[in-house]
Amino acid sequence: MTAIEQYLIDTYRAAQLGAPMPPPPGRDDVAVLRSARTYAQFRAVVDGGEARHPWRAALHRLTHPHAAPQCGP
């Protein structure tokens, strides 16, 4: 059963029982990812590092590609 199907069943059940509707699936996904990133930045600072900005790190990876690995001696 998919998350949408379960949501529809829960919504129907809530309507029948007069209970509050459940939140739609995926509603809080962005907030969870943002809090995980913020916690990782916090841990980096507490451990003595610097809080890296994700966009800046992605831009750095795009503008400074790694050298291709060399095969053989």
Would you list the domain boundaries of the chain? Answer: 24-48
Q: How far apart are CA 59 and CA 40, in angstroms?
A: 19
Map the chain to HEC letters.
CCHHHHHHHHHHHHHHHCCCCCCCCCCCHHHHHHHHHHHHHHHHHHCCCCCCCHHHHHHHHHHCCCCCCCCCC
Per residue of the chain (73 residues), give pLDDT as tens. Answer: 899 999 999 999 999 999 999 999 988 899 998 999 888 888 888 888 777 776 777 777 788 877 555 565 5
Rg (CA), the chain: 22
What does the pLDDT read at residue 21?
94
pTM tops 0.75: no
